[in-house]
Amino acid sequence: MSIGIIGAGAIGQLLFAQLNTGTSNAHKIHLISRSPQSFIQPMSFTGLDNNTQHGSVEILGQDAAEIAQLDLLIVCVKAYQVVETITPVIDRLKPNCQIMLLHNGMGPHRNVAELLQHYPDMGLSLATTSQGALKNAPWNVSHTGNGKTLIGHYCGQPLAEHFKSFLLEQIPNATWHANITTALWQKLVINCAINPLTAFYQCKNGQLAEACYQTEILTIIEECITVAKLDGIDLTNVDMVTMVDEVIHFTANNTSSMLQDINHQRPTEIAYISGYVVARAQYHGIQTPANLTCLQRIQALEH
Ligand code: KPL
């Protein structure tokens, strides 16, 4: 079984370490970079137990022959890079290769599903994780927090049972979800409520527990639930408010990914977070002013 992880960010390197732990030679796990040539890279990974492992790893380039042998390609790039990452390699994948997307936000799965209509033997799975990982340097990652990883089938050929069990055994607290889009919507609502607010108020997640933010958070959540319902996903207000409160509480000391992106002048995933809700609302002919405000304010900061 050959698995490729494309996108060597914090989560990509964390997964690489987790999928390699205790793996026999029967499974080949590759990290794939976006450069054309393969190269040997010294890497280090620090686990939750503070043990650091150092090693040299071959990072496959886009032209590597091994890409044609992959049974599963896990795509761990930012939402706005998903389509441009998959498009150049898809023709070189095995006809029955499985693809799995793992990123914040929603939207690219619709584009990839369209692409897969031309590859009837492939399948698409989606995943979301709340594991914490920190990139200390380009090839030096620490696992900073336990979290849940939810995986499920989205379209095309289903993931074979031996893949499912391998992923669920190797990734701590990973579970399989028959309806992964509901899980992704729940994560989306959490990101809609936390990420933009932390980015424009320049605060840690925990500060959003203060009373002055509650009306704004509740309005964002309500709008998301209305749009999710029109998309066929039933979320309840009580559940979503509780989930958002829990994440604010458990990640109180976190700097959200969007605040980090804004402060490092990197593009954010806002178009796939608040922007996805606004786009689906427009599709259904309704307005979502609180999410639209989040989208516009972050886009203004990006520029
Ligand atoms: O996913 C996150 C992010 O920062 O992108 C949350 C859940 C808000 C944790 O920081």
Q: Are residues 212 and 250 in the same domain?
A: yes
Residue 262 CB–ligand 1 contact under 6 Å: no
Q: Is the same domain home to 45 and 111?
A: yes
Same domain, 163 and 249: no
The response to whether residue 257 sits with its C-beta less than 6 Å from ligand 1 reads: yes
Report whether residue 251 contacts ligand 1, using a CB cutoff of 6 Å: yes
Q: Are 132 and 147 in contact (CB under 8 A)?
A: yes
Supply the Cα-derived Rg of the chain in whole angstroms.
Answer: 19
CATH number at residue 46: 3.40.50.720
The CA 26 to ligand 1 mean position distance, Å, reads: 35
Q: Judge if 139 and 195 occupy the same domain.
A: no
Q: Which residue has the tokens 């023709």?
A: 91
Same-domain status, 250 and 107? no
d(CA 168, CA 19): 10
One domain, residues 174 and 190? no
Say if pTM beats, i.e. exceeds, 0.90: yes
> Which ligand 1 atom minimizes the distance to the CA of 269?
5
Ligand 1 centroid from CA 255, angstroms: 8
Q: Which of 209, 196, 167, 143 is nearest to 74 (CA)?
A: 167
Domain match, 168 and 198 both: no
Decide if 156 contacts 116 (C-beta within 8 A): yes
Q: How far is the CA of 226 from the centre of ligand 1 (A)?
A: 22
Final residue belonging to a domain, choices 178, 209, 233: 178
Residues 147 and 31 grouped into a single domain = yes
- Please list the ranges in the chain whose pLDDT falls under 50: none
**Which DSSP helix (H) or strand (E) runs through 194?**
helix 180-201
| Tally of domains within the chain | 2
Same domain, 173 and 217: no
Q: Whose CA is nearest to atom 2 of ligand 1?
A: 256
**CATH code of 295's domain:** 1.10.1040.10
Residue 187 a catalytic site member: yes
Residues 191/105, Cβ–Cβ less than 8 Å: yes
One domain for residues 167 and 58:
yes
In this structure, are 133 and 18 located in the same domain?
Answer: yes
Nearest CA residue ID for atom 4, ligand 1: 256
Is any atom of ligand 1 closer than 6 Å to the C-beta of 274?
A: no
pLDDT value at residue 24? 60
The pLDDT, as a whole number, for residue 303 is 84
Q: Give the DSSP letter string of 223-276.
A: HHHHHHHHTT----HHHHHHHHHHHHHHTTTPPPHHHHHHHTT---SGGGTHHH
Whole-number pLDDT of residue 34? 85
Residue numbers of the domain that contains 195: 182-302
Among 178, 211, 233, the domain-final residue is 178
Q: Is the beta carbon of 198 within 6 A of some atom in ligand 1?
A: no
Q: Which of 94, 135, 187, 229 is catalytic?
A: 187
User: 58 and 77 share a domain?
Assistant: yes
Domain-ending residue, one of 120, 148, 178: 178
